[in-house]
Amino acid sequence: MIKMRVLFFDAKSYDKENFDAYKEKYGFDIKYLKVKLNEETVDFVKGYEIISIFVNDTVNPPVIDKLIEYGVKLIVLRCAGYNNVDVNYINGRIKLVRVPAYSPYSVAEYTASMVMTLNRKIHKAYVRTREGNFSINGLMGFDLHKKTVGVIGAGRIARIFIKIMRGFDARVIAYDPYPNESFARDLGYEYVDLDTLYRESDIISLHCPLTRENTYLINRESMKKMKDGVMIVNTGRGRLIDTIDLIEALKDKKVGAAALDVYEEEAGYFFEDMSSSIIEDDILGRLLSFNNVLLTSHQAYFTKEAFRDITLTTLENIQSFLQGKELENEIK
């Protein structure tokens, strides 16, 4: 019997290893493509009814028109966020499934490690000692104890991050349009409005999904409301921050430090080895020139546990579709 084949875009060697390890018991095969899905690559989908994508594939109206023309029936996201898919334009014409939740500990723990690395300047100390420089000049940080951490979006990931911050005895305040008072009581944080969060926080960490409404939430105006020297942490999505405004605020020392695991124009760079190329993105280049910016390549989710969860949910999502079952992880 010929097995149904599913086309994976933006597949890395670790995707292939993981999916190949688990896919045996499923009744379909996977064809792995390294390229990202966009207007230039959409023709690869010819002959496939099911495709799988990741965070930096582009599913915009021209791509969607082609997917429909080629008969694609299901788009399987190997991630939680779906800001890269124009769901309104699809309007139910192709089914969409995602991995709504996987080890939220992965991202929460990573966020905490970014805060501590940046605060205690471990990234600089590592380089110094390896070069035989044992001076600690310029490496002074601050105690987290009694500092105020402001969390924007108090969902699954944020609640674990809050627990970790509470472990440092930091005060935590949160903004979320859908507050949950029982979580707040249990974890020991309080909900505030955004202006209060900006005004009172020493560290601001972003954990909300990217939507049309909160695009560039962190911009010149919102940063003006923040404490001088605030630390901004983004493991959410790049476009939550207006990077040009952030660069200005870093130059003015309004923002004292920034930990960024995501970047608004990350698609051309993140997840790729660009070490032999010139960085043509001047904004990214400028960000990388600040010694108080810690920038990583969208790796907060990258733990064994999270990756196994993503793999298994993705395979189950495909299987459910093929068996005509209800799609519990459908995006509507």
Which residues of the shown chain bind ligand NAI in the complex (CB under 6 A)? Answer: 80-81, 101, 104, 107, 152-158, 175-178, 207-211, 213-214, 235-237, 261-262, 298, 300-301
212 catalytic per annotation: no
User: Nearer to ligand NAI by C-beta: 119 or 296?
Assistant: 296
Catalytic site residue from 78, 98, 207, 237? 237
The reply to whether 200 belongs to the active site is no
Q: Which residue is nearest to ligand NAI (CB)?
A: 155
- Report the nearest approach of ligand NAI to the CB of residue 99 (Å): 9
Given the complex with ligand NAI, which of 6 and 259 has the nearer CB atom?
259
The strand pairing partners of 187, in sequence order, are none
Could you tell me the smallest distance in angstroms from the CB atom of residue 265 to ligand NAI? 15
Catalytic residue flag (residue 266): yes
Q: Which of 156, 171, 239, 298 is catalytic?
A: 298
Closer of 141 and 268 to ligand NAI (Cβ)? 268
Residue 20's CB: how many other CB atoms inside 10 A? 12
Q: Which of 266, 308, 316, 328 is catalytic?
A: 266
- Least Å distance, CB 81 to ligand NAI, is 4
- The minimum distance between CB 161 and ligand NAI, in angstroms, equals 9
- Positions marked catalytic: 237, 266, 298
